[in-house]
Amino acid sequence: MQLRRLGRELKVSPVGLGCMGMSFSYGGQEERAAIATLHKAIDIGVTHFDTAELYGPFENERLLGKAFKGRRGKVTIATKFGYKYSDCGKGFDRVLGLDSTPENVKAAAEASLKRLNTDVIDVYYQHRVDPAVPIEETVGAMADLVQAGKVRALGLSEVSSGTIRRAHAIHPISAIQSEYSLWSREPEADVLPTCRELGIGFVAYSPLGRGLLTGTMDQPGALSKEDWRLTLPRFQPGNMDANKDLLKTLAEIAAMKGVSAAQISLAWVLHQGDDIVAIPGSRKIHHLKENVQAGFINLSDAEILEISSAISSDKVAGKRYSASDLDHIDG
């Protein structure tokens, strides 16, 4: 695959792998199967792997540390910090709140390095903006980690244009990560233009609408009871029914191209600019292969316009996050 640039420091595969679902939120996965998927990803050209201390918490980083033993030189690892945790409970129940103090920035990095079994984190993201800590203080601490050789490049997740500019003035930011897909296009207004002005790469997470844009999920009953998506507005029965017509159109376009709806959705994201990389999640090897192949699909300007018009965010029933989760989005 033709590599794409994240800032000045890194080049990665246009289709990466979001690893969260292997350990967190979507029901998890047996370790052996997860490691097999991670190894297959490397074998077929994926170089960009995204995790976070939150995913588990901590379990997903440990998984990658095991999977990449002896393969570290073939992968770019991105992880995130920004929360404080209790010592008991499971999943989100352990999250006590945000913490992007300089002390936690550095302590979290040391812990992530240990779990990931590596000497350096390739991209270190602030997971969510902490309103109690000026972004300048947080990025200053992150920059210290670069100076110490423990981090190669800095990133921010779900941030506004103004925050990007303030952060970039302290230390060059290499990557901005936000949800971006056919029906989550908020970054197009300000964030993407700001990234392009400043030479920052853009990482699209949930480019397949957390599975809904694959066209294979008709009802919430298809998900396990532990699946976090059941709490999201777009996964409520009424909204899923209302969005079926959009998914039907997507399937028709995909059929005409001889590919899957998931591949069309992912190809559309990649066609929005050479500075965009996508990190769809995948726990199954056949889905992983399908996603990687989407990076080779060519769409004409007319096809992009048709897809953009048929499945746009203003036509979608339901917000992308619950109200409490949206409270943590900077902007």
Query: Of the residues 26, 55, 205, 321, which is catalytic?
Result: 55
Residue 246's nearest CA partner among 179, 157, 316 is 316
Asked about 26 being catalytic, the answer comes back as no
From residue 85, give the alpha-carbon distance in Å to each of 55, 194, 239. Answer: 12, 33, 33
Contact 257, 297 (CB under 8 A): yes
Measure CA 61 to chain center. Answer: 15
**Tokens encoding 324:** 């409490």
- CB within 8 A of 84, min separation 6: which ones? 95, 96, 97, 98, 99, 104
Buried/exposed 86-107: b ≥16 CB within 10 Å, e otherwise: eeeeebeebeeebbbbeebbbe
**Tokens encoding 134:** 């000026």
Residues with a catalytic annotation lie at: 55
